């Protein structure tokens, strides 16, 4: 078993030092947290394998339309090679339909279509806090420069347009999603690139006909339902892992 340096561990992923300078290995865990920061921890067998595959697919499609990403290539069932970036501590959420915290905050019925897409920013604070912040907070506290923020917003809206169409093509409505960005340095030149992952862990996906949910909101109905929902997303995208649903355990985490 190889020893690798663990750089970061989050709710659903571990980042290890990569094989070459400037790279990292992103390992997808089966762990999930029901709800926000204070919530309970659950294990959903096979979730990491599905998210690795789904995120690879979506990042590759996005890079084909010119959205820069940190993704390099998938290494195995649970791991992918990514470029090392300086993560900007802001979660960018794009919403097309009212759901989740937006529904709660303004007491609007879930499922209400928005007249235009709404972009929100959340600060990834210490200890798992996630306060909603404005552009003023972001620039005043130096988390991102105004031009970085413009680029993040432009990229998030391009991701929204492209993924909304892609999911519509397989009968799913992209209700909302969260993305993160990083700074990629090449000599003295810096680019903002899409980082982290795009998977049903950070999207709300509803069936266009029945409004059935194919995302982690299924957690309230048990881990088994989440696995089925994520499998269905992968199946509709045409990328269910090679061995099918039985083959979802994949390699164990090594360090």
Question: Measured from the CB atom, is 18 or 133 closer to ligand TMP?
Answer: 133
Write the CA distances from 52 to 151, 177, 211, integer angstroms: 26, 17, 25
Question: Measured from the CB atom, is 1 or 109 closer to ligand TMP?
Answer: 109
Q: At what angle do helices 223-237 and 47-64 cross, to 10 degrees?
A: 30
Q: How far apart are CA 156 and CA 35, in angstroms?
A: 23
Transcribe 149-186 into DSSP letters: HHHHHHHHHHHHHHHHHHHHTTTEEEEEEEEEEEEEEE
Q: At what angle do helices 47-64 and 146-168 cross, to 10 degrees?
A: 110
Question: Measured from the CB atom, is 102 or 144 closer to ligand TMP?
Answer: 102
Using the contact rule CB under 6 A, the part of the chain among 20-28, 78-86, 94-102, 206-214 near ligand TMP is: 94-102
Question: Measured from the CB atom, is 18 or 47 closer to ligand TMP?
Answer: 47
Could you give the string, one character per residue 167-196, with x where binding to ligand TMP holds by CB under 6 A and - elsewhere? Answer: ---------xxx------------------
CB of 178 to ligand TMP, least distance (A): 3
Using the contact rule CB under 6 A, the part of the chain among 72-80, 197-205, 206-214, 241-249 near ligand TMP is: 197-205
Question: Measured from the CB atom, is 18 or 70 closer to ligand TMP?
Answer: 70
Question: Measured from the CB atom, is 36 or 247 closer to ligand TMP?
Answer: 36
In the block, tokens 């700074």 appear at 183
Binding ligand TMP (rule: CB under 6 A), the pick from 67, 68, 72, 101 is: 101
Binding ligand TMP (rule: CB under 6 A), the pick from 68, 100, 171, 245 is: 100
Binding status of residue 117 toward ligand TMP by CB under 6 A: no
Judged by CB under 6 A, the chain residues 14 through 43 that form the site for ligand TMP are 36
Query: What letter would DSSP give residue 202?
Result: S
Write the CA distances from 220 to 46, 154, 215, 226, integer angstroms: 18, 34, 11, 9
Q: Which among 170, 159, 155 is positioned nearest to 58, based on CA atoms?
A: 159
CB of 12 to ligand TMP, least distance (A): 9
Binding ligand TMP (rule: CB under 6 A), the pick from 49, 54, 93, 172 is: 93
Q: Which among 67, 53, 68 is positioned nearest to 238, based on CA atoms?
A: 53
Write the CA distances from 119 to 5, 15, 48, 88, 161, integer angstroms: 35, 27, 27, 16, 13
Using the contact rule CB under 6 A, the part of the chain among 45-53, 97-105, 144-152, 164-172 near ligand TMP is: 97-105
Residue 75 tokens, joined: 């290494």
Q: List contacts with ligand TMP (CB under 6 A).
A: 36, 93, 99-102, 130, 176-178, 202-204
């Amino acid at each position: 078993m190889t020893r690798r340096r663990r750089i970061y561990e989050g709710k659903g992923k571990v980042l290890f030092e990569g094989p070459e300078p400037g790279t990292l290995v992103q390992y997808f865990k089966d762990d999930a947290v029901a709800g926000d920061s204070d919530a309970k921890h659950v294990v959903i067998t096979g979730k990491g394998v599905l998210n690795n595959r789904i995120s690879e697919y979506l990042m590759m499609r996005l890079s084909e339309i010119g959205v820069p990403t940190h993704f390099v290539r998938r290494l195995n069932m649970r791991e992918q090679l990514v470029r090392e970036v300086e993560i900007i501590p802001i979660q960018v959420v794009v919403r097309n339909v009212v759901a989740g915290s937006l529904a709660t905050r303004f007491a609007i019925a879930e499922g209400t279509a928005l007249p235009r897409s709404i972009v929100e920013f959340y600060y990834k604070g210490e200890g798992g806090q996630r306060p909603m912040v404005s552009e003023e907070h972001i620039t005043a506290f130096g988390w991102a420069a105004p031009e970085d923020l413009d680029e993040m917003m432009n990229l998030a809206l391009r991701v929204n347009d492209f993924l909304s169409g892609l999911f519509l093509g397989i009968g799913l409505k992209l209700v909302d999603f969260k993305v993160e960005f990083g700074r990629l340095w090449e000599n003295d030149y810096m680019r903002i690139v899409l980082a982290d992952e795009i998977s049903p862990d950070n999207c709300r996906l509803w069936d266009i006909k029945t409004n059935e949910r194919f995302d982690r909101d299924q957690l309230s109905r048990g881990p088994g339902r989440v696995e089925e929902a994520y499998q269905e997303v992968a199946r509709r995208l045409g990328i269910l892992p090679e061995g099918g649903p039985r083959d979802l355990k994949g390699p164990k985490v090594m360090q």
